[in-house]
Amino acid sequence: MTEDDSTPTYAKIANNTDPSWWKDSCLRRNVFYTLGCMMCPFYLGYDQSLLTGLQAMPLWNDYFDGPGGDWLGIISAAILLPGIVMGFPGAWICNTWGRKWCVFIGCGFIIAGSIWNALSPNAIQFILSRVIMGVGGALTKTSAPALLQETVHPRLRSAMGTMYYGCYYIGSLMSSIMCIIGLYIDNEWSWRFPCLLALFGPTVVILILLNAPESPRFLMKKGKSTCALATLAKYHANGDLNDPLVQWEYKEIQNALEEESLNNKTSYMDFFKTKGNRKRLLVSIAVAIGVNWVGNGVVSYYFSPVLKSVGVTQPIQILGVNAGLAAWNLVISELAGLNVEKFGRRPLFLSSTIGMIFSYSFVMGFSAGFAETKNSSIGVAAIPFLFLFFGFYDIAWTTLNYSYCAEIMPFSLRTKGLAIYLSVQQVGNTFNQFVNPIALDAIAWRYYGVYIAIDCIYVALIYFFFPETKKLSIEEVSILFDYDTKEDRAQAARAFQERAKNAVIADHRMVRETS
């Protein structure tokens, strides 16, 4: 591979920023606002660990009469159900009022739901409050990935985009710690206190994004080209409107929007009109289902009964292991996100899924051994493989699920694609979370075999259908789907880049002639 092939287009263009983002004021602001988007998955990570922690807390079990089986499945699924439909109004809000407004509205719902959840006097209100949180979560999950991908500096897009979902584990770790603290409170606030702090993440998101820019792509789509250019200059080049990279980005966005406009890509039916869009839809649906159907769903929301199935029964033990797992997941997912441009998406997806098959097989074997012998040492031996399983899961399925599905979509279909992704994900996740406790009660360790088989299917899907997107701008990624052969894609990429370059040159020539 030549240097020209291996170097991203944007890396060859002069830019009025320091190579190290932390030394540059505009890039520091850009990263800070990006962190606001990245905190949006906090609520779901907090909830996942919270539900595990609550199941280990005696006072919560006493208050709600020890929910299990289908009742526990309803409590778990309540926060997921709204995502089946709410992504679609979320996409409308994004495309009508802007990505930021959709994030703010979603965070407001999560905050309101968290307060209601903490003050719930009965199980029905506890469930309904989780539904309200799910409404808000669906809105943020439709808008935040798009806002991040469309505002971050191209040099930072890959790392920041793939680290987005890693913040899920910041919420998970905080929730684990709050549940441990709750064990030492001898009244109802032992569980109400951790429930209330679910509002922390969305509150931080609102505070960070108050002064954040709107997506330049959204602004340009709404005819606010001057504002879009100013935004690119302010956050990508320290205010230099004539910066070569800013001009290149501006023209690339302009060309992409013009092409999409010519093709009238304005409805959900456009996903079925071209081969490229059908391929995008296939990959997006595959990721949406897989993110919760590769085995993690059993362990994430039902970690407490899983640990009990291998002989770990003390609340402090369960919560301690849960906190350790959250910290482990946070470190692995963020490290993977920082290195995704080095290794590429396809290798990470493949190694992640193959590694999960390996580790899950050991979890199944040790769980079966404990079920037959009741030997605690055999049961405890499964715990390191649960950590190993999540380590493999984190390197791709945590880091890439939203960023990959956002970057493969063209602008006009991006939030619509995320809405479909979220809806399919939540249908699969809701069914998964309702069935998991029932299946665990019925067939125990044998249930793990179902997910091993699913993972094997996903290895084939990834190998044949998931394209590599590293070292491409978010506009250039579309070429991977709209052109069949490597040669056609290379030719289209050169034409796309040449068009943007010529547009920049023409603009500069016009400026010189009129001055």
In this structure, are 60 and 43 located in the same domain? yes
Which residue range(s) make up the domain with 505?
483-515
User: CATH number for the domain including 170?
Assistant: 1.20.1250.20
CA-based radius of gyration for the chain? 23
In this structure, are 462 and 432 located in the same domain? yes
The answer to whether residues 18 and 24 touch, using CB atoms and an 8 Å cutoff, is yes
Q: What is the pLDDT of residue 2?
A: 41
Q: What is the pLDDT of residue 9?
A: 65
In a domain, 234, yes or no: no
In this structure, are 459 and 488 located in the same domain? no
In this structure, are 469 and 496 located in the same domain? no
Q: What is the pLDDT along the chain (515 residues), one digit of tens a residue?
A: 344 455 556 777 889 999 999 999 999 999 999 999 999 999 988 998 898 888 888 899 888 887 766 677 788 888 988 988 998 999 999 989 999 999 999 999 999 999 999 999 998 999 999 999 999 999 999 999 999 989 999 999 888 888 888 888 899 889 989 988 998 899 999 999 999 999 999 999 999 999 999 999 999 999 999 999 999 999 999 999 999 999 999 988 888 787 766 555 568 888 888 888 899 999 999 999 998 889 887 765 556 666 666 566 677 777 787 788 888 988 998 898 888 888 899 999 999 999 999 998 888 888 778 777 777 777 778 788 888 999 999 999 988 988 898 888 887 788 889 889 989 988 888 777 777 777 777 777 788 888 899 999 999 999 999 988 887 777 777 777 776 656 555 655 565 556 555 555 445 444 444 44
d(CA 497, CA 500): 5
In this structure, are 275 and 396 located in the same domain? yes
In this structure, are 332 and 349 located in the same domain? yes
Structural tokens at position 92: 């409308």
In this structure, are 491 and 431 located in the same domain? no
One-letter amino acid at 254 equals Q
Cut 0.95: pTM above it: no
In a domain, 298, yes or no: yes
d(CA 427, CA 183): 34
In a domain, 199, yes or no: yes
Nearest to 152 by CA among 447, 328, 406, 400: 406
One-letter amino acid at 98 equals G
Nearest to 348 by CA among 395, 290, 394: 395
In this structure, are 425 and 510 located in the same domain? no
Count of domains for the chain: 2
d(CA 226, CA 89): 28
In a domain, 196, yes or no: yes
In this structure, are 327 and 402 located in the same domain? yes
d(CA 456, CA 359): 13
Q: What is the pLDDT of residue 169?
A: 86
d(CA 381, CA 367): 9
SS3 60: helix
In a domain, 71, yes or no: yes
Task: Give 66-134 as a 3 state SS string.
Answer: CCCHHHHHHHHHCCCCCHHHHHHHHHHHHHHCCHHHHHHHHHHHHHHHHHHHHHCCCHHHHHHHHHHHH
In this structure, are 81 and 179 located in the same domain? yes
In a domain, 125, yes or no: yes
d(CA 515, CA 511): 6
In this structure, are 392 and 488 located in the same domain? no
In a domain, 379, yes or no: yes
In this structure, are 340 and 470 located in the same domain? yes
Query: How many angstroms separate the first and last alpha carbons of the chain?
Result: 43
In a domain, 295, yes or no: yes
SS3 13: coil
